[in-house]
Every structure is written in C-alpha cells, then in structure tokens.
Amino acid sequence: MIKTEQQVLSHNPSLSKIDIAKLFEQPYIRSKNLIGEKIKSVNTAKKYLSELESIGLLAKNKIGKEFVWFNTELMGILSSED
C-alpha cells in the first residue's frame, strides 16, 4: 500500500486527495466509494479513478449501468498461490 501511495504521489500530487486505504478495502472500487471529506462529487471521483487507471494501478470494467475499477495489485495478491 505504501508503494502504491508513493507511485500515485510521484505521478500526480493532486491525487493526494484520494484515500489510498480505500483502494485496498476490496478488490474493486466505485466512484461513489471515494466521496467524502476531500472529494465531493462523483465526477471528480471518476476523474481521479481514471487517472489511476492511466498509470496502471486500476483496471476499469462496466458492470450493469456503472463502472467499477479493479485494483490490479490487490487482485494479484489475492489470486497468488503463495
């Protein structure tokens, strides 16, 4: 998680508004899960999640009517056999 936080901040310091721990609560995250004290709108959350996708930390899939971003690092940890 610390490595991910460093990678996010080195790519774009404005992404510091994202609570990185929320990315590791579940293997996926929806934009409405990021809304809170620092992020007030769904559109802003989607923008931040898309930026994390562009640097390779998340993968976006459409499920039903909404988009869900999967944490690729966490999915790798959960699917490893070690």
Mean pLDDT in consecutive groups of 10 residues from the start of the chain, 82 residues: 77 79 89 88 93 92 94 84 64
Contact between 22 and 34 (Cβ < 8 Å): yes
pTM as predicted = 0.82
Predicted local confidence at residue 67, as pLDDT? 94
Query: What residues does each domain of the chain span?
Result: 2-79
Order the strands of the 58-63 sheet from edge to edge.
Answer: 28-29, 66-71, 58-63
Distance CA 30, CA 11 (A): 21
Distance CA 75, CA 15 (A): 22
CATH number for the domain formed by residue range(s) 2-79: 1.10.10.10
Q: Strand, coil or helix: what is 69?
A: strand
